[in-house]
Structure 1
Amino acid sequence: MTLKHLPPTFCWTKIGHESGEALPTTVLRKEWERRLGGGRFLWGIGQPLGNSAQIAAHRTGSLIALFSPASSKARQPERKTEDVLLWNAWIDASGQVRQLPPHTFITSRATLPSGRRREHYYALVCASPTELSIGTRLRVYPDHLRSVSTGKVLGAAQSAAVVDCVGRETEQTGRSYPLALSVELEAPYFVRLTQPSVLKARDLAKITKATRDGDLDTFVEQVTRLRSQPAAAEQARGFTRDLFDMSPVESAAPFGHAAPAHAHANHAW
């Protein structure tokens, strides 16, 4: 999706804090997941969006996610290699645990910046009918954004938030971030992840190498193998369908006030 200007309301995500990998590598991996998911894919985020995504989508009829590279450098490895978690399931609004699609590869650090063990992670429900691509001249100015849920300026530590743009785009000043990627979000817009398993360093290295080499077959083989291993955190409760088997309207139903996802807007792709 190529935008000519910033939308008045959008979900803004700063990427790079968790993975530390190069942006083109991340986007290629997500492009593969998009193809395997029939146009849908999940993007891991460290913070929940609350009800702001539903509010914004109901107000505007659709919701776009904009991604910017984080300005700070990735956290340097500590003397002891930090564990990485692979997330295997998501929790719907009724509390049911559902398995993520088998091609989905979402990882995070095992510990929070505070040092506590990470219990949950989150993911944006993204969609694009065309290939993901990097590159735009647009920039995001945080000083001119206001949280949809609070009406306040974003905190420095916020890596994902649904925001309103205030002021004219030509008058925006201050610190800015480049806009690297934009996609549609579909209901339920974001999900809470669960059932993490510790990802071995050698397995992560294989996935990273396959992506850097552009080797889709090896990527699929490795991800399928890792995702087929039982997660130790908790067992899924009952039989549930895969996230990507659900229509946007059906997946939004538990939220009640959320508007049904509209067809893809006629943006310049």
Structure 2
Amino acid sequence: MQAEAGQMLDAIIARKERERRAGDGLFFWGVGNAPSRAISALARMRLPVPVIFSKMKSKPKAVDVAPTRTVVWRQYIDENGIERPLPESALVTSRGDSAGGAKNRHYALMCFSDAPLKVQRGIPFDPSAFRNAGGVGAPIGASQVTALLRQVNEPNSSTDYEANVMAWLTGGYWVKLADPSELTRDVIEEIAEFEGNEEEWIALATRVRGSPSQRPVSQSSERLLL
């Protein structure tokens, strides 16, 4: 985890904590890469999958610290391939442009935690004790940011990484987002400066997302994992 959509990491975690409180433990954490092919089946079977967020060692990219455009995502595709509005408490933003132009793909982890979200220190996380759960079970790559893993060895407590934030996957687990809408600078600042209660957060998130656009769902986007 690192800076995203013009917000530094501490600000993102504070925003996700507001979302968690307003959503009775539920929060959406935006990620840039598509889910493992096993995720949809795991979500339908409701198998418990823990989420470990570890702070990235590299500095955030300039495009994430200061994007030219920021969008809010208004809908998601659930584990059954149905496009739904985000819950009233959820607010997922991202930069609005990718290398190929306007960003039209983004994803999110649907998470649950009954404890407040805060960065913890001193809990080691050893990537070498895990392998990717899909494919041939390859080791975790240096460029992998979000991955579904399985443990294959006992973790070594001597590691450079920490388990900084922990939660559980819920709902659709790792979902594709849809229907982005560009945010104005005033709205971005309003989100960053918010200090209200849970009801006020829901009102803000609902207003920022606005009404989902009326558009046909293409055949290729109806299913999450094809």
Q: TM-score range by the shorter chain?
A: 0.7 to 0.9
Q: Using the alignment, how far apart are the partners of 1:81 and 1:106 within structure 2? A: 15
1:194 to 167, 173, 178: 178
What is the deviation of 1:57?
7.4
1:228 to 188, 210, 224: 210
Identical residues among aligned pairs (%): 27
Secondary structure of 1:192's aligned partner? strand
What is the deviation of 1:84?
0.9
Which residue of structure 1 lines up, in the alignment, with residue 54 of structure 2? 68
Which residue of structure 1 lines up, in the alignment, with residue 20 of structure 2? 34
Which residue of structure 1 lines up, in the alignment, with residue 119 of structure 2? 134
Using the size of structure 2 for normalisation, the TM-score is: 0.80
2:83 to 91, 94, 97: 97
Letter paired with 2:156: T
Using the size of structure 1 for normalisation, the TM-score is: 0.69
Is 1:203 the counterpart of 2:184? The answer is no
Larger of the two Rg values belongs to structure: 1
What is the deviation of 1:220?
4.0
- May I ask how many residue pairs the two structures share in their alignment? 217
What is the deviation of 1:55?
6.4
When the two chains are superposed, the root-mean-square deviation of aligned CA atoms in Å is 3.2
2:54 and 2:161 in contact (8 A); partners too: yes
Q: 1:219 to 1:171 in 2, by over 3 A?
A: closer
Secondary structure of 1:203's aligned partner? helix
Letter paired with 1:148: A
Q: Deviations over 1:166-217 (max 9, x none)?
A: 33223765xx32221000112421111101001112211110111xxx3336
1:163 to 140, 149, 152: 149
Q: 1:44 to 1:171 in 2, by over 3 A?
A: closer
1:181 to 139, 143, 165: 165
Unaligned runs of 5+ in 1: 1-14, 238-253, 256-269
2:3 and 2:9 in contact (8 A); partners too: no
What is the deviation of 1:126?
0.8
